[in-house]
Structure 1
């Protein structure tokens, strides 16, 4: 699996040509897209070997891809065929608060319908909000592709879900879930890399026009530094929100857990080798194959960009109300005690209860939100990271913009706060309801690095 940096940059790589894109769900007779949480056995090792017990959203073998259109009603029905309840969240979707995080009890009699109209076009995902370390690492994720209200001609989607699995030699998932050392440390790092639940697959580029790569990092903790050999893709969106198009120019693109990126490539420019930069090594993970007779697409206009989504513009800096959030915990993170279930607990008691992280001195969601905003109020979050780790954080129901950090005007639903530093973010609280802020490292979210905020009607 490991190759040298020199070989990736200058050599020829070999891949197994057998894979297709992830499969989509089917429409039921009453107009719902039915999504089953189910057990499946995957062959994640080389040439499809091994028997990995996985938990999937959809028929498999790849993560489910759900398609919707901006401004049109989306009807989803979730059925839990597992033996435990699951809480699922729509990451990056600015939908109604009561539907963006849902509880799905086990059993076909407890199906949960979710009907809403996506306001934004973009690449989003659905994943667990409880017992994240176990459920995410077992593969329980889906991609939600919301197409633009007006279709963009000449583009064909290719969804790529990057993941790292922690596997034994026979392909079985190593089940040390709930490990305290992993929770307070770096997290549950995998040792086996896949695209769409396949080892080193070959995926087909569109013969004509552009292929729009919709890439998701579904790993528990690992930031993926994705490299492209053979082409320089054009970045056109991050976290579902359009950006000023930019060519990568032989650079990797960094995706923290839960982050997404949309990139344009053309089969007329040839195939593309895909790899991860691990700094000490390069790991090849797949290949994008150009079909014979590929047709060069017309040149994009100089001012090309994806259509903007209807986000509320930020006011001037002096119109922002400042809220300070302090992250503590983990190894060498300075946490000695925190409030848990309404009472102050020392670190030993916290660890006995599976907690080791806190926001503003509170481990996990509490009865009182971190802050309350009125609808339409502009909020500045000063996030102080007092931990020894970089912290990727996600906001529910909204998108924020870093203050004083390039590129200006970039809205995302995730931010990485470096260890020991403070990052300031601004957003307009225009989506009423109860929402969450939390780590996108699964073990840290389970371990208490999550809190809530409220937006009034």
Structure 2
């Protein structure tokens, strides 16, 4: 198959998928948004051709989009119609530890309720934490849009989920899940691009005012370099956290797996082409369509920015406690042995058990956390990447800043550490409980590049 492309967008009501209101998702009598993990058949090839058997958090054909309000309770009910248990995590959400990662056994009689109040406004997502390589590549995820407590006038939402599916010529998902060579190598790289589970979609911009593009990279491993042809969007948020507004100035927006970005764009300058910079090629993946009669919105104020979220500030550098995280594994990644289930194992034994990556010499979660922090303590993590690959590392339940650069960056939930480099991030441990740190490359998280830390009261 030749490389091609994908799409994603938004909705209305409490949940939305694609442009249609609820796409069969249910708001129950007791006020829960009901999400079913279920099988669906998608037409991902050109003009909707092909039959791709997918797993979705909703009936499809588009990804599920959940809408919530900052500071107001969100009531979710998960029902697993698949034949295996799933573990789901709310990526980027700083909610309570016992609810941000939940187990949903198969069967309608094992529905799991999740009720919490999102502290932050922004673009987040819900995706698997177990069998990530298979489940994410089959499409099992949802976007969580948390709207600001005070609505921002003049903006309409358009959610776009970028993905790359690994498909055979007939549109079926290609095999090799669990392949050790894939796990220790680049990962499960797709060959077919979509936005919102469609090939080269045409997505409507708002006729008046600004369209707020909420973009998620849902791919297993591919970093997306998204280009806009015909306009210069304004970046206003990353990973659900506001950033100082900045025009792209013709450059791509770069999103590692699991990263999100919010951008402002208007329909006043006509249609916009969406493309991926593949370095050896550029692939068109979709179009943003300007309705006829679109008007130019009022200019943004010079000091425009999204309101900040209540993320705890960092302490002074002298008061931070330093913790070193060493990433090893993969091809030419320096891993010869690691602890697995509490016992040292050589590389051959690790590979036989589906592991090939480690943090601080431990492959996968262990009985002992990587470190323990006291509530209110600022932790500086010096992340040393000894592997041969760039590593997007994600933190649960908190936001961190890169502090090994001046000035420190904005609060985010993911940092990309290039091969052979060390990056320092810092966060204030204000959310008690057991949390995880892991690669956002699905195969590497499955393969051991995941650990835990504890925040005590």
For residue 14 of structure 2, what is the aligned residue in structure 1?
none
Is the aligned partner of 1:313 residue 2:313? yes
**CA distances 1:90-121 after superposition (whole Å, capped 9, x unpaired):** 00000000000000000000000000000000
Looking at structure 2, the residues matched to 58 and 213 of structure 1 have their Cα atoms a distance apart, in angstroms, of 22
Is the aligned partner of 1:130 residue 2:130? yes
Q: Secondary structure at the match of 1:158?
A: strand
Where do 1:406-421 residues align within 5 Å?
408-421=408-421
Looking at structure 1, the residues matched to 20 and 55 of structure 2 have their Cα atoms a distance apart, in angstroms, of 15
Is the aligned partner of 1:293 residue 2:275? no
Q: Secondary structure at the match of 2:408?
A: coil
Looking at structure 2, the residues matched to 58 and 306 of structure 1 have their Cα atoms a distance apart, in angstroms, of 30
Q: Displacement of 1:20 after TM fit? A: 4.6
**CA distances 1:265-295 after superposition (whole Å, capped 9, x unpaired):** 0011211100000000000000000000112
Looking at structure 2, the residues matched to 409 and 281 of structure 1 have their Cα atoms a distance apart, in angstroms, of 31
For residue 441 of structure 1, what is the aligned residue in structure 2?
441
Is the aligned partner of 1:348 residue 2:348? yes
Residue 77 to residue 3, structure 1, CA distance change in 2 (3 Å): closer
For residue 373 of structure 2, what is the aligned residue in structure 1?
373
Looking at structure 1, the residues matched to 18 and 146 of structure 2 have their Cα atoms a distance apart, in angstroms, of 21
Indicate conservation of the 8 Å contact 2:404/2:423, yes or no. no
For residue 75 of structure 2, what is the aligned residue in structure 1?
75
Looking at structure 2, the residues matched to 2 and 52 of structure 1 have their Cα atoms a distance apart, in angstroms, of 17
For residue 12 of structure 1, what is the aligned residue in structure 2?
none
Q: Secondary structure at the match of 1:110?
A: strand
Q: Secondary structure at the match of 1:269?
A: coil
Indicate conservation of the 8 Å contact 1:3/1:284, yes or no. no
Looking at structure 2, the residues matched to 409 and 179 of structure 1 have their Cα atoms a distance apart, in angstroms, of 37
TM-score, normalised to structure 1, is 0.95
Q: Displacement of 1:146 after TM fit? A: 0.0
Where do 1:48-447 residues align within 5 Å?
48-405=48-405, 408-447=408-447
Looking at structure 2, the residues matched to 406 and 324 of structure 1 have their Cα atoms a distance apart, in angstroms, of 20
Indicate conservation of the 8 Å contact 1:22/1:196, yes or no. no
Residue 446 to residue 119, structure 1, CA distance change in 2 (3 Å): same
Residue 23 to residue 404, structure 1, CA distance change in 2 (3 Å): farther
Indicate conservation of the 8 Å contact 2:123/2:260, yes or no. yes
Looking at structure 1, the residues matched to 21 and 253 of structure 2 have their Cα atoms a distance apart, in angstroms, of 25
Indicate conservation of the 8 Å contact 1:2/1:281, yes or no. no
Q: Secondary structure at the match of 1:411?
A: coil
Q: Secondary structure at the match of 2:444?
A: helix
Looking at structure 2, the residues matched to 232 and 301 of structure 1 have their Cα atoms a distance apart, in angstroms, of 17
Q: Secondary structure at the match of 1:67?
A: strand
Looking at structure 2, the residues matched to 203 and 249 of structure 1 have their Cα atoms a distance apart, in angstroms, of 22
Looking at structure 2, the residues matched to 126 and 430 of structure 1 have their Cα atoms a distance apart, in angstroms, of 22
Looking at structure 2, the residues matched to 443 and 264 of structure 1 have their Cα atoms a distance apart, in angstroms, of 33
Looking at structure 2, the residues matched to 179 and 342 of structure 1 have their Cα atoms a distance apart, in angstroms, of 24
Q: Secondary structure at the match of 1:412?
A: coil
Looking at structure 2, the residues matched to 395 and 373 of structure 1 have their Cα atoms a distance apart, in angstroms, of 14
Looking at structure 2, the residues matched to 20 and 125 of structure 1 have their Cα atoms a distance apart, in angstroms, of 16
For residue 16 of structure 1, what is the aligned residue in structure 2?
none
For residue 8 of structure 1, what is the aligned residue in structure 2?
none
Q: Secondary structure at the match of 2:227?
A: strand
Looking at structure 2, the residues matched to 332 and 269 of structure 1 have their Cα atoms a distance apart, in angstroms, of 48
For residue 13 of structure 1, what is the aligned residue in structure 2?
none
Residue 178 to residue 407, structure 1, CA distance change in 2 (3 Å): farther
Indicate conservation of the 8 Å contact 2:3/2:191, yes or no. no
Indicate conservation of the 8 Å contact 1:123/1:143, yes or no. yes
Looking at structure 2, the residues matched to 310 and 410 of structure 1 have their Cα atoms a distance apart, in angstroms, of 13
Q: Displacement of 1:408 after TM fit? A: 3.2
Residue 213 to residue 22, structure 1, CA distance change in 2 (3 Å): farther
**CA distances 1:65-92 after superposition (whole Å, capped 9, x unpaired):** 0000000000000000000000000000
Q: Displacement of 1:407 after TM fit? A: 6.0
Looking at structure 2, the residues matched to 124 and 455 of structure 1 have their Cα atoms a distance apart, in angstroms, of 22
Residue 329 to residue 432, structure 1, CA distance change in 2 (3 Å): same
Indicate conservation of the 8 Å contact 2:33/2:75, yes or no. yes
Looking at structure 1, the residues matched to 100 and 447 of structure 2 have their Cα atoms a distance apart, in angstroms, of 22
Looking at structure 1, the residues matched to 425 and 119 of structure 2 have their Cα atoms a distance apart, in angstroms, of 22
Looking at structure 1, the residues matched to 288 and 449 of structure 2 have their Cα atoms a distance apart, in angstroms, of 37
Indicate conservation of the 8 Å contact 2:65/2:142, yes or no. yes
Indicate conservation of the 8 Å contact 1:23/1:60, yes or no. no
Structure 2: stretches of 5+ with no match in the other structure? 5-16
Indicate conservation of the 8 Å contact 1:22/1:65, yes or no. no
Give aligned pairs, total. Answer: 443
**CA distances 1:234-291 after superposition (whole Å, capped 9, x unpaired):** 0000000000000001100100000000000001121110000000000000000000
Looking at structure 2, the residues matched to 394 and 3 of structure 1 have their Cα atoms a distance apart, in angstroms, of 28
